[in-house]
Amino acid sequence: MPELPEVEVVRAGLERHVVGARVVAVDVLHERPVRRDPRGPQGFALALAGRRITGARRRGKYLWLPLDDGDALLCHLGMSGQMLVQPADAEPEKHLRVRLRLEGAAQGRHLHFVDQRMFGGLLVSTGGAVLPPEIAHIGRDPLDPLFDLDDVVARVRRRGSGIKRQLLDQTLVSGVGNIYADEALWRARIHGERPGDRLTRAQVVELLGHARDVMTDALAQGGTSFDALYVNVNGESGYFDRSLHAYGREGEPCDRCGRAVRRVAFMNRSSYFCPGCQPVPRATRRRS
């Protein structure tokens, strides 16, 4: 389940393996992953053909490959997306959706966009080499040198929404997904349903620091992986899941206090927290 660390691993892999390559031809094998490109599948393929890849950049969970004409190939991995650099004669993956045939720096190789659940996608962003306009609304992530901590803290403390929902709001702070939100909240000993406007400045600063740290730690280990869906650009799985304290640990003892980790429904998914270290706020206590 790609979050910021996994996307960064993919970005770094693409930077190493495909920058400088020219796209010779594009095969769109399924239309859904290019649904956000207004040109349609054929227009998408035509817009990419002949272009040279000049870089590999990222903001939050989005990554893009700037092209030599000032446009960019914008990519989101969604739930199950992969970008794989493969030999030209490689057997196509079961869920191969888009194939870019490359020459030049990646002579004889293909870039495969593989995505089982197809929440991810690709599009050619007009004039998007520096920052695709399609993701101009996405906030900077905590690993970005220009991340404005004071501004984010102030905005969090102005809203009454639960702090976990805010952590997952990519316009506020990007890159944090369900897994790392639960881990950062566990580290900060804050329950995800605590309203942002009821937290102190120091608490929000500490929480965002933990969000940054948990993603930095994951990045150092090559990203998190829970199943075969996530592999990096060379097909190698990450293994950060061994270091998780909250996510996916329902019923297991908290590593800090020993209380059983609980799971609750949250936004059509799950939240994991320690009822000892992360007390449920009073206003929502009756619901749990």
Partner DNA sequence: GTATGTACCTGTTTGC
Partner DNA sequence: TGCAAACAGGTACATA
Q: Which residues are annotated as a binding site for DNA?
A: 95, 117, 159
Structure tokens at 97: 């959706």
Q: Cite the beta strand spans of the chain per DSSP E.
A: 21-28, 57-59, 62-66, 72-76, 81-87, 96-104, 109-115, 121-125, 262-266, 269-273
60 binds DNA (CB under 7 A): yes
Cβ–Cβ under 8 Å, residues 53 and 85 = no
72-76 sheet: strands from edge to edge:
57-59, 62-66, 72-76, 121-125
- In angstroms, what is the minimal distance from the CB of 122 to DNA? 13
237 binds DNA (CB under 7 A): no
Q: What are the two backbone dihedrals, phi and then psi, of residue 52, each rounded to the nearest 5 degrees?
A: -105, 135
Residue 258 or 268: the one with the smaller Cβ distance to DNA is 268
- In angstroms, what is the minimal distance from the CB of 20 to DNA? 27
117 binds DNA (CB under 7 A): yes
Cβ–Cβ under 8 Å, residues 251 and 228 = no
76 binds DNA (CB under 7 A): yes
Cβ–Cβ under 8 Å, residues 221 and 243 = yes
Closest CA to 48 of 125, 113, 152, 135: 125
Residue 102 or 274: the one with the smaller Cβ distance to DNA is 274
Query: What is the radius of gyration, based on Cα positions, of the chain?
Result: 20
Instruction: Give whole-number Cα distances, 263 to 8, 45, 181, 213, 273, in Å.
Output: 29, 44, 14, 23, 7
Phi-psi region of 234 (alpha: psi -120 to 50; beta: other; left: phi over 0): alpha
Which residue in 140, 159, 209, 222 binds DNA (CB under 7 A)?
A: 159
Which residue in 58, 61, 189, 210 binds DNA (CB under 7 A)?
A: 61
Which residue in 12, 49, 54, 161 binds DNA (CB under 7 A)?
A: 161
Question: Which range, of 47-55, 201-209, 210-218, 260-268, touches DNA by CB under 7 A?
Answer: 260-268
Which residue in 177, 192, 223, 238 binds DNA (CB under 7 A)?
A: 177
281 binds DNA (CB under 7 A): no
Q: Which of 58, 61, 109, 157 is catalytic?
A: 61
39 binds DNA (CB under 7 A): no
Which residue in 269, 282, 286, 287 binds DNA (CB under 7 A)?
A: 269
162 binds DNA (CB under 7 A): yes
Active site residue 3: yes
Active-site annotation, residues: 2-3, 61, 269
Task: Please give the residue ranges that form the binding site for DNA (CB under 7 A).
Answer: 1, 3, 32, 60-62, 76, 78-79, 94-95, 116-119, 134-135, 155, 158-162, 165, 168, 170, 174, 177-179, 247, 263, 267-270
